[in-house]
Amino acid sequence: MGRTRGSLAGALIPWQTIDRAIVPGYGELTLHQRGTFFVIRLDGQELMGSHDHGSEDLLATLACAGLLARADARVLIGGLGLGYTLRAVLGVVGPSASVEVSELVGATVRWNRGPLGHLADHPLDDRRAHVIERDVVDVIAGVRGHYDAIMLDVDNGPDTTSQWGNPRLYSEAGLRQIMRALRPEGCVAIWAASETPSFIDAMRAVGLQSECVRARQRGTSNRHVIWFGRMPSRGRAR
């Protein structure tokens, strides 16, 4: 669904509520605008905002490096958000690539086709982009050896103390499921609000060649991270 980020918008212009949607099992999702800035909140807690998307660009750059020349590249993005990750991926893959976006919340898709579309230059209009309105965990579980890259931007990351942490993605079983969904030498990149030192050990334990890349959010002291893992060049997931 989303993850927590602070807002940099000016304090003088009042926020306006653009739309609301009930998400079963989570609460009320709301879209807000202040001047040129947009935020999505869940029960009043900000999940993401339009003020900075450098970490989304980094997520795409890391995961899709080398895919521009691959004619049949297949990419999965978990979480549509404000469309920035999808736009960044479309900029670094070739014209015949297939980019799937798994988004659990239909309202988020609707907003990206409407009031949010201009933020990332309407990436859903690109013929390479395909929206799947399902939980990304189920999408990953349904394929084997299918994707060259998987990007996960659905919550605060693998910190188990986080409100949005998803053990079905970040547990050993979840990581092995991701590996089964990847092609040989495919990779996974996971956005996280903060560093969880033990997680890279968990990634390496299942056989991923892994590293943690820090992405500082512009204008703040927040240091978001990208957990990056690549399948070994030979052999298969254990």
Q: Which residue has the tokens 């890349």?
A: 213
Look at residue 151 in the predicted model and tell me its pLDDT. Answer: 97
Would residue 29 count as lying in a domain?
no
Would residue 48 count as lying in a domain?
no
Write the burial class of residue 213 (CB in 10 Å: 0-12 exposed, 13-18 middle, 19+ buried).
Answer: middle
Which domain, by its residues, includes 162?
54-230
Would residue 12 count as lying in a domain?
no
Would residue 140 count as lying in a domain?
yes
Would residue 133 count as lying in a domain?
yes
Would residue 41 count as lying in a domain?
no
Each residue's pLDDT tens digit, 184-209: 999 999 998 788 888 999 999 999 99
Would residue 225 count as lying in a domain?
yes
- Whether pLDDT at 4 is above 70: no
**What is the spatial distance between Cα 155 and Cα 178, in angstroms, rounded to a whole number?**
16
**Mean predicted confidence (pLDDT) in 114-134:** 97
Q: What is the mean pLDDT of the chain?
A: 88
Look at residue 56 in the predicted model and tell me its pLDDT. Answer: 87
Task: Identify the CATH number of the domain in which residue 201 sits.
Answer: 3.40.50.150
Would residue 4 count as lying in a domain?
no
Number of structural domains, the chain?
A: 1
DSSP characters over 110-156: HHHHTTTGGGGT-GGGSTTEEEE-S-HHHHHHT-SS-EEEEEE-SSS
Look at residue 7 in the predicted model and tell me its pLDDT. Answer: 47
Q: Give the CA-trace dihedral at 61, 66, 68, 69, to 10 degrees.
A: 180
More confident site: 52 or 114 = 114
